[in-house]
Structure 1
Amino acid sequence: MNTQTVISKEDFAKFREFFYRKTGIQFDDNKRYFVDKRLLERIEATGSETFRNYFVNLRFQASGDELQQLVNAMTVNETYFFREEYQLKCLVTHMLDDLVRRKTDHSPIRIWSMPSSSGEEPYSIALYLLEYWKGIADWDVELIASDIDTSILRRARQGVYSPRSVHNLPPKLLEKYFARCSNGDYQLCDDLRQSVEFTRVNLMNPADLRGYRDFDVIFCRNLLIYFDDLSRRQAADTFFDALKPGGMICLGHSESMSRISSLFNVRKFPDAIVYQKPLEAR
């Protein structure tokens, strides 16, 4: 690494504003070490001599390839199977039954996992549906999983996980759906990997969101904590538009849609609190 390259306070402020406008993610001052380290790695990888040279190229590069590489470096992907399992239980014991009672056309149930990270969440949803939802034999399910990070999407499609990622899974499910690799990791079976469609989406880019409509359920857990109030409201509007009337969204345990937007109704099920698009909304 070029030890002569220094990210000044002014450089950090410029970069932070640029990255926020592109992604909605806000870096506080206490993230300086993390941001500087990733920036210096990208400056070195691109052969730029200074932050200024790198930043000019980043802003005006027509292809956007380096911006994507930077996004991949800056996003945090920390997850595991059956994380916040109470919401998965709520999905199969209450939410889906509530939704299918109102379906008159027997159209597929559409579920969106955003962000997907390395796939543990959408694959957990698929596992839970197969194992615990009695309606799975009668209904088609479309499971879409999206993330802004292209490198993490490649990992998700491969479906290979460390022992830590699968530590919450019951042994019988681990044996049923995974094969042990020679290095000790676990490979998810082909059928489950093919049941999820992975796509790249930036919630702050309207062009990315075309076609993301008519979802019955959205899982967006532990993403909005990285946004400021304005970006959270924008994300809430996006999810509202993406849901069918009566559709529901699950947030992370420390997140509350009620503090972000008044568009949704609060639904209190025995297992979890979720947020519902009003039936009369369009």
Structure 2
Amino acid sequence: MTDTAPAARAPAILSADDLERVSRLIYRHTGMTFGESKRYYIERRIADRIARTGARDVRAYLALADTGAEAEQIVNAFTVNETYFYREEHQLAALSNAILPEIVRQRRPGDLVRIWSMPCSTGEEPYSIALWLLENWPLVDAYNIEIVGSDIDTAAVARAAAGRFNARSLARLPDAVREAYFEPEQRHSRKIIDDLRESVHFTAANLVDPASVAAQGKFDVVLCRNLLIYFDDASRAAAAANLYDCLNPGGYLCLGHSESMARISDRFTLVRLDDAIVYRKP
């Protein structure tokens, strides 16, 4: 198998059966649902992977795609990595104004507090947590804050660990924050300073796989934003169970603004904070 740059990226023409096979493959690996309504999206990515692997046609590629390294590559090709710094800032405000003060109320200085950003995409989400706490939570240095960023997309995780970002990702950061924590590089990109980059630990994880989630350990806060919208009911239920299990008692879960646990799980308690609506493990 080769992984050279494709000579062309004309869409592969998938039969209805091929489209169903691709959709089942992605669902089995990620819990995300695709179908006829996403045909153009699917065909572009399959055409790219056919060109990169040198497979002779769609059928040959699909035989390859469920095995070894190519299974990882096709998952990476279909994950969505749309994000930027300080996205849904109101939840970051809730984190510093209410969630963490409540969590540390019965902790001692120096105690461990674990925060999980899942999915972390290319790093903007977990680094935003670190930046926000440094700038907005006076007690940030009084506790051992561990931030973990995880994603099913291994290529995104590698980019996150590298800590390089373009102007679009950084656009919503205050100028003072951007200047203090990011070093200019070529072509308007910036690299996050080493001290901050090393403060976030990155891992590959699959939210619908209990063993994968359990391997990350227990957390006091989980930010799982804009992922459940890509799942069907069965995958949402599996994800909710895994999120519940990975939280410490009294831990908090933050979802995206268009997401809710109301029709997924009754195990969480809804909490209305001044800045955001979140969920708590009793």
The 8 Å contact of residues 213 and 244 in structure 1, kept in 2 or not, is answered as no
Question: Match of 1:266, SS?
Answer: strand
Query: Which of residues 12, 22, 25 in structure 1 aligns to 2:32?
Result: 25
Q: Give the superposition deviation at 1:3.
A: 6.5
1:72-110 CA deviation, whole Å, 9 max, x = no partner? 111111110000000000000000011111336963000
CA distance in 1, matches of 2:137, 2:27: 40
C-alpha separation in 2, matches of 1:2 and 1:179: 35
Q: Does 1:8 align with 2:15?
A: yes
1:141 paired with 2:148, answer no
Question: Is the alpha carbon distance of 1:212 and 1:105 closer, same or farther for their aligned partners in structure 2, counting shifts above 3 Å?
Answer: farther
Corresponding position of 1:45: 52
Q: Deviations over 1:235-270 (max 9, x none)?
A: 000000000000001000000012211010001100
Do the aligned partners of 2:220 and 2:247 also contact (CA within 8 Å) in 1? yes
1:204 counterpart = 2:208: yes
1:56-135 aligned within 5 A: 56-59=63-66, 61=67, 64-103=68-107, 107-135=111-139
TM-score (norm 2): 0.93
SS in 2 for 1:259: coil
Q: Which sits farther off after the overlay, 219-228 or 177-186? A: 177-186
Deviates more, 1:127-136 or 1:193-202: 127-136
Mapped partners of 1:105, 1:196: distance in 2: 20
Amino acid at match of 1:131: E
Counterpart code for 1:18: L
- The one-letter amino acid of 1:148's match is I
1:170-213 Cα offsets, whole Å, 9 max, x none, are: 11111111111132111111011000000001122333223323
Identity %: 47
1:52, distance to aligned residue in structure 2 (A)? 1.7
Asked whether the equivalents of residues 26 and 226 of structure 1 are also in contact (C-alpha less than 8 Å), the reply is: yes
Give secondary structure in 2 for the equivalent of 1:78: coil
Q: Distance in 1 between matches of 2:227 and 2:126?
A: 15
* Residues 1:241 and 1:57: Cα distance change in structure 2 (over 3 Å): same
Question: How do 1:155-170 residues align onto structure 2 when only pairs under 5 Å count?
Answer: 155-170=159-174
Is residue 260 of structure 1 aligned with residue 267 of structure 2? Answer: no
Scaled by the length of structure 1, the TM-score of the pair is: 0.93
Q: Which runs of 5+ in 1 are unaligned?
A: none
Following the alignment from structure 1 to structure 2, what is the Cα–Cα distance between the partners of residues 65 and 4? Answer: 23
Q: Distance in 2 between matches of 1:265 and 1:106?
A: 28
Structure-2 residue corresponding to 1:232? 236
**Structure 2: runs of 5 or more not aligned:** 1-7
Q: For 1:151, which of 150, 155, 168 is the aligned residue?
A: 155
CA-atom RMSD in angstroms = 1.7
Partner of residue 43, structure 2: 36
